[in-house]
Amino acid sequence: IKPLLDAVRQALIGIDFEVILVDDGSTDKTKQQVLEHSDERTTLVELRKNYGQSTAMTAGIDYSRGRYIALLDGDLQNDPSDIPAMVELLENGNYDLVVGKRQKRKDSSIRTIPSKIANFIIKKSTKLNISDQGCALKVFTNETAKELNLYGENHRFISLMAHLNGAKITEIPVKHHPRQHGVSKYGMNRTFKVINDLLLVLFNKKYLSKPIYLFGNIGLITFTLGVLVNIYLLALKILGNDIGGRPLLILGVLLIFIGIQFFTTGIIVDMLMKTYYESQEKRPFNIRNITTFGESQS
């Protein structure tokens, strides 16, 4: 805690800032260390138990009051001295989020290889041209950060989620140091979680407000294949061939039922999404700015 707070204070000299430390259910002496080394700029948010990194980030964002919000892990692999340059980019008004791009990463291949795969998939499947999605050092405008709804382990895709909300994003090179304290909990088992979360995020991007386009299209294709198979078998039957023992007959009937099921699932999910938006008075869009007769309201 002391090296972290010292590094942040040294990096942000001359800047009005607050430090929000989120204790995600730690079982060591984190709280005592914070109480010993904190000052009037420091706020400690203690969670009742360990909820995970995404939830901890959400808690910190919720209690932040600054114009800009910087996310930083406590292990000091990312350097707080990069924050002022990132804030300067935001102050120009051209961007809503600045992402760090780690130079000469000090992580093991067990972390870098899955990260590169995820970055490649995101680049190819979206228009977000960010080469280092996993860098923990990010600086947002307050509005951009508070629009994020992080849950599960979506902290890995913060940049993508902000992009889907319409944020303007850029990245700059940042320093990366070897981990000095604590033990990384990253393992190959997390690779499967990353893939599942990525698929969920991409689904939300394309089909959250129109799920019938996904389930309905799959249903129509499957149903059509089933009908074609059965027409083919019917033609064979008319020509005098025995089709009763053919596995193809079972496949054709199964495809028809699966197609109907997918299509009805799309209708049900579409109705649920309408209920979701209307019951909470949500809108399927985000407004950047409204200008009325020369007056700007953010």
pLDDT in tens, 177-225: 877 666 655 555 666 766 777 777 777 777 777 888 889 999 999 999 9
In this prediction, residue 294 carries a pLDDT of: 55
Q: What is the pLDDT of residue 107?
A: 61
Put simply, whether the predicted model's pTM sits higher than 0.75 gets the answer no
Mean pLDDT confidence for 39-46 = 92
pLDDT of residue 106: 64
Is 14 a residue whose pLDDT tops 60? yes
* pLDDT value for 253: 93
Contact between 1 and 34 under an 8 Å Cβ cutoff? The reply is yes
| Mean pLDDT score, 286-298 | 63
Say if strands 290-292 and 295-297 run parallel, antiparallel, or are unpaired: antiparallel
Q: How many other C-beta atoms lie within 10 A of the C-beta of residue 142?
A: 14
pLDDT attached to residue 4: 92
- Report the distance separating Cα 158 and Cα 152, nearest Å: 12
The DSSP output letter for 40 is T
Task: Compute the average pLDDT of residues 63-92.
Answer: 91
Do residues 86 and 158 touch, judged by C-beta distance below 8 A? Answer: no
